[in-house]
């Protein structure tokens, strides 16, 4: 069982948000494994509110890329104009790098890569269910871990659907029934570049003992 534990923790630690892909295809067998992993996620009252649309057609992927660019670009342009972005990059002293980061974010390019992946999975959640956001998020995490275990890469995005105006456009394009909401999209493919792990907050700041604010780890 130690092997299982080690492998499982390795998969968790190896997962990255992949934004660069090769042209290599994702096999049907691998995609089925990924979708089956989603199906096995926990679900309140076993309602299984998730539905998935597999998108491989280039035109449809380009549509999702354009919508993602628009969603991200809009959000980050707002952050730029309201100076929130400047505060976020306060520690970055290199002006050229800072400007490049601003451009990448406000242009929406940070999310427009999705059509470079071989497959995009649109994750939908049934509205008339108690726990849709939680159930679908658990299904998505299962998929991301399965992707990593298979040696593939993925990125979880809300850019094309977080704003209700974009979600409406997406839902119309893909003929999604009003009984469902689009929760996220997941780009999946063979990674061309695997980024370094993003920094995480120290665990001492995250975990409390018995009462909020009472550090769990300091007491040990």
Choose one: 23-31, 41-49, 67-75, 199-207; the region binding another protein (CB under 8 A): 67-75
Helices (H), the chain: 2-14, 28-39, 58-81, 84-88, 95-106, 109-112, 132-149, 164-173
**Please, which residues have CB within 8 angstroms of residue 66's CB and are 6 or more apart in sequence?**
112
Q: Is 75 in the site for another protein (CB under 8 A)?
A: yes
Q: Is 107 in the site for another protein (CB under 8 A)?
A: yes
Tell me the three state secondary structure of residue 82.
Answer: coil
Minimum CB separation of residue 93 from another protein in Å reads: 18
- Cα–chain center distance at 116: 15
Structure-block tokens of residue 140: 């998505």
Using an 8 Å Cβ cutoff, are 182 and 167 in contact? yes
Minimum CB separation of residue 180 from another protein in Å reads: 15
Residue among 79 and 116 whose Cβ is closer to another protein: 79
Q: Is 219 in the site for another protein (CB under 8 A)?
A: no
Q: Is 106 in the site for another protein (CB under 8 A)?
A: yes
Q: Is 189 in the site for another protein (CB under 8 A)?
A: no
Interface residue list for another protein (CB under 8 A): 69-70, 73-75, 77-78, 80-82, 84, 99, 102-103, 106-108, 162-166
């Amino acid at each position: 069982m130690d092997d299982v534990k080690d492998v499982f923790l390795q998969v968790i630690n190896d997962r990255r948000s992949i934004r660069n892909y090769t042209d290599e295809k994702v096999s049907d067998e691998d995609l089925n494994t990924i979708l089956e992993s989603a199906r096995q996620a926990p679900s309140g009252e076993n309602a299984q509110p998730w539905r998935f649309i597999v998108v491989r057609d280039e035109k449809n992927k380009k549509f999702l890329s354009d919508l993602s660019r628009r969603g991200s670009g809009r959000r980050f342009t707002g952050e730029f104009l309201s100076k929130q972005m400047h505060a976020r990059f306060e520690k970055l002293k290199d002006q050229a790098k800072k400007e490049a980061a601003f451009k990448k974010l406000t242009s929406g390019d940070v999310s427009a890569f999705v059509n470079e992946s071989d497959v995009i999975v649109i994750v939908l959640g049934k509205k008339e269910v108690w726990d849709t956001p939680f159930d679908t998020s658990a299904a998505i995490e299962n998929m991301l871990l399965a992707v990593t275990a298979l040696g593939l890469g993925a990125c979880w995005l809300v850019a094309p659907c977080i704003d209700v105006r974009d979600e409406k456009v997406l839902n119309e394009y893909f003929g999604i029934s009003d009984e469902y909401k689009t929760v996220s999209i997941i780009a999946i493919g063979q990674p061309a570049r695997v980024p370094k792990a993003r920094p995480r907050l120290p665990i001492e700041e995250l975990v409390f003992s018995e009462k909020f604010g009472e550090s769990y780890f300091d007491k040990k």
